[in-house]
Chains A and B, each alone.
Chain A
């Protein structure tokens, strides 16, 4: 689990994250909120790209903020980005291998590990195709594959469903649901697509204007009148 304590992040005059304290339990968790609520900033703090002004973050007992950014991946922290970062010049296999060989020691099991991850996301038949030739949906799955290869402990998914049609988000949801069991990592999912959040996450936190608005079991949070007010006019939660 991830414990965030009194986290504050400021950019110039803007306070993106304002004294947020919350604990993400194990399993798959959602992190939602209107645009600009501070969700991606929180991810950036976790990844190490942003230094918070105050606050502590620990994951499974380890102080995350004390580790340099590239070391966090080795520790087991993985993330996807809003703009997809799969490398077009390489094959799916090489894309996933590139993550494995920089986060996990030992060459022996690497082929099996890479293929396992590719199989998990359902890209087995295009494993050796260059990512540049794949569809946007497949590229998203490559991203997820890179995030789950090896033995990650925390997988942060930043709007993996953005722009995907309904059928494809369902497949994505099914993949995400298997991660805690099959990969053994906890998942934090930032999403605007509520159906995806409902499908994957048992627990959800809501941010609004950098503050924690609500947190708890997903169904309850999504019924919370404060949360509905924050989203009024922006999302159809039916």
Chain B
């Protein structure tokens, strides 16, 4: 039943995935609060970037590895910016669902493109330089990628927190998140701030993509594309507002999922892949307990 020798190694793995959830969650949350768009193409964009990295590493002679990794981040940022600057404004008059559907469409297009461009059946993937080196703690083998992931997540969330509080753009983002119309009336440069949010989220997208390929051990574009769905679980637990709640929830989910893998707890272990979804559904239902009725947009109950 409870196999303690396996708990620790899986804890490491859980923390690493939790870190990825945290970074995705941060990117999704900040973008959503600033622009009102829940970017369902987050995973697909990262996958596209990762595919380009793979292509540059495996299929070209001239490209050094480090440049290929940078390319992932650049491509991801570019694609995200493309959507954010060109397409997202067309949906400005829609509710959050409509805005999200736009990103869903983008994800489908990207997925189709990826299948067409890289249709090889063989298992593909690459390992980051941190992925090939391991060390041991308490009988558990830890790759440096896992460590980097956790550190990076801390850096990202900490950095974003400071950014939101201490910089002009960050403050502007918080203002917009609070009340877009008033902010715009007060002279906050909404478009510029939104662009910054798209850019930042795009960069995170690329970083997450790179880490995922290493942590999963292979480049599975379908898996990566729909990774955005469980990534939403910590965001929902954070009620789509609280950054640090999202951060911690991400790690909890990652660790729970991994620990269910470690020992055989019966059917929860069997269905451990539902962990994030169960958390997500729970959060949505819990926070909806007090029902509100909207009359012309203003909740009155």
A residues neighboring B (CB under 8 Å) = 44, 49-51, 81-83
Contact = CB atoms under 8 A, between A and B. Distances in A.
13 contacts: A44-B295, A44-B300, A49-B293, A49-B295, A49-B300, A49-B301, A50-B300, A50-B301, A51-B301, A81-B295, A81-B296, A82-B296, A83-B296
Q: Which 10 A-B pairs have the closest CB atoms?
A: A83-B296, A49-B300, A49-B301, A50-B300, A44-B300, A49-B293, A50-B301, A49-B295, A81-B295, A82-B296
Interface of B: 293, 295-296, 300-301
A233 B293 CA distance: 35
A49 B300 CA distance: 6
Given A44-B295, A49-B301, 11 more contacts: A44-B300, A49-B293, A49-B295, A49-B300, A50-B300, A50-B301, A51-B301, A81-B295, A81-B296, A82-B296, A83-B296
A82 B298 CA distance: 13
Nearest to B292: A49
Nearest to B297: A83
A82 B296 CA distance: 9
A50 B294 CA distance: 11
Contacts of B301: 49-51
Contacts of A50: 300-301
Contacts of A83: 296
A207 to B, nearest CB: 18
A4 B231 CA distance: 51
Contacts of B295: 44, 49, 81
Contacts of A49: 293, 295, 300-301
A82 B208 CA distance: 48
A51 B296 CA distance: 18
Contacts of A81: 295-296
Contacts of A51: 301
A82 B297 CA distance: 12
A175 to B, nearest CB: 24
A81 B293 CA distance: 14
A50 B300 CA distance: 6
